[in-house]
Structure 1
Amino acid sequence: MDFILLLLLLLASVGTFAQIEVIPYVPQVTDQEFKGKITASTFALAPPNCIFNSLVNTTDEIWLVVTFANATSSFKNPTDPQEIPLYENLRSTLAYMTMKSTVSQYPCDKAKSGSVLRVGNESTCKSDGGLTPCNGLLPSPGPYRVKFLAMDSKGTKAETRWSGPITLKKAQTWQAVDTWPGRRSGDMIVITVILSVLCGVVTLGFLSTVCYECFKLWRNSPPETVEQRHQDPFQTSHYDTHHIPPTPPVRPPAPVDITTSS
């Protein structure tokens, strides 16, 4: 009896695993050439266009699973939406699911093949109990591995294979920045020398102009006389307030002859 029960459980589990379709698609970093494809906290994935179209319904959810490279074996596909690991618990669960979407967002239209999925695109995460799946910054260089999976109301329905390890760039500390001028490029050295010479020429021209103008003012000023040099600066000038002509002298009266009159 126990053997029959064990066999039934084994068959049920095999049937359950058989329901999960494994798609032979390996997620990878986009092959487009642009700056910032891989940074210290993000990386850009090629979207899984036209991968789930024949396997899922329009109402099914497509998720991106992000794990540390050494934690893929311990990750279990959720059988219920309540089991979806959150970004906020990455340190303890070593995995999280993000970028919830539908099959309509990954169409087979080749015109939209230029788009990318930026993992770690959100600098802050809303604290809403996991209602909004966060796509927060990745906390370390990793390496990380990712896969896509599709879920319906009963759990995981289809999934892709795991990607290869993706290692982020390491941020360089300011102490490690090389400031030795001998390791600068030749173009930078030439530009620095030219700018220095131009600054020196402009400064020299400005000083020459100032000296020339001062010399012109000194040369065109009237010469100072000896009297002006020895003049008492505190001596006041003498001047008349009113111009009055001098009075002519009055002629004396004529003398009187006493003899003639008697």
Structure 2
Amino acid sequence: MAASLLLTILAALGTMADIEVIPYTPHITELSLEGKITTSTFALETPNCVFDNFANSSDIIWLVVTFSNVTGTFQNPPNPQRIPTYEDLYTTFSYMTMRSTLSQFPCSPGQSRRVLRVGNESVCKNDDGRTNCNSPLPSPGTYRVKFLVMNSTGARAETRWSAPIELRKAQAWQTVDTWPGRRSGDMIVITVILSVLCGVVTVGFLSTVCYECFKFWHHGPPESQEEPSPEPLQASRYNTHHIPPVPPMPPTPPAVDLPVA
């Protein structure tokens, strides 16, 4: 019994001695973006071109997340079946997530804008079938992380541990300062002016609506006026071109008695 235990320990030590240390230290991204560290997540720099000389295309690259005070006692899993899951964080204070391959960390320049956000998956938090769930971190920490390269027989290479990472703490609502005296004078003036303008516009609108309603109910609708009868059609006078009037007929000459022969 003692001999078998000793052999197991020696085998484990031999396995640990064979693990290569990758000269890389994980760290928070240096990109200018909001939310690098939140109350339950943090964004790491993507380790592009880091594992090319230490991993094969069939190897799996894991991210190990632990509380900062247990990194000295963390032991790499001897095989993929012993990988600690997210639920183990509450018992062993560590877990492994972000299951990746060598192809996901290429040396392409365009990949430099990517980040690895730890704690970004909330949908698989209670899914026992997801052994690599990247669930939100439950407390501010502090945490430390490292990358671990594994094949079907165990760990092959690992990076150095990161510096301690502490998450942001949510501020209690009782401690939020709402006193106007803490605000700048310009902000107070702008707020007052906008409030007065909104009040004036609202009062004017309501006054107009009330006035129109009062006129309608007090005077009633306007009476319909009888339509004026159409004027009779008058023909236009037509003047022809100038024609001189006809002269009067001359009078009939008087009768003359002729002498009898």
TM range (shorter): 0.7 to 0.9
Partner residue, 1:76: 75
Residue 162 of structure 1, CA deviation: 0.1
Greater Cα offset, 201-210 or 98-107: 201-210
* Mapping of residues 147-226 of structure 1, within 5 Å: 147-203=146-202, 205-206=204-205
Distance 1:133 1:182, change over 3 A: same
**Displacement of 1:213 after TM fit?**
7.3
In the other structure, the counterpart of 1:90 is 89
Query: Partner letter of residue 25 of structure 2?
Result: V
| Unmatched segments (≥5 aa) in structure 2 | 220-261
For the residues of structure 1 that align with 2:215 and 2:149, how far apart are their CA atoms? 88
RMSD: 3.1
Residues 185, 56 of structure 1: CA spacing in aligned structure 2 closer, same or farther, 3 A cutoff? same
Give the TM-score, by structure 2 length.
0.73
Question: Counterparts of 1:107 and 1:211 in 2: how far apart (Å)?
Answer: 70
Aligned residues of 2:77 and 2:154 also touching (Cα < 8 A):
yes
Partner of 1:105: 104
Per-residue displacement from partner, 1:209-249 (whole Å, max 9, x unpaired)? Answer: 579879999xx9xxxxxxxxxxxxxxxxxxxxxxxxxxxxx
> Does the 8 A contact of 1:26 with 1:147 survive in 2?
yes
Tell me how far apart the structure 2 counterparts of residues 46 and 198 of structure 1 sit (CA, whole Å). Answer: 48
Alpha-carbon distance in 1 for matches of 2:131, 2:12? 32
1:191 match: secondary structure: helix
Q: How does 1:227-242 map to 2 (within 5 A)?
A: none
Counterpart AA for 1:179? T
SS in 2 for 1:33: coil
Contact 1:126/1:132, CA 8 A, preserved across alignment? no
* Equivalent pairs, count: 214
Q: Is the 8 A contact 2:43 2:118 kept in 1?
A: yes
- The percent identity for this pair of structures is 67
Q: Distance in 1 between matches of 2:127 and 2:199?
A: 61
> Which of structure 1's runs of 4+ aligned residues deviate more than 2 A?
7-18, 126-132, 184-188, 199-217
Cα distance in 2, alignment partners of residues 84 and 192 from structure 1: 56
2:233 is aligned to none
How far apart, CA to CA, are the structure 1 residues paired with 2:209 and 2:96?
A: 71
In structure 2, the partner of 1:115 is 114
Post-superposition Cα deviations, 1:117-154, rounded to whole Å, max 9, x if no partner, equal: 00000113265545441100001111100000100011
Residue of structure 1 in register with 2:222 after alignment: none
**Structure 1 pair 187–93 and aligned structure 2 pair: CA distance change class (3 A):** farther
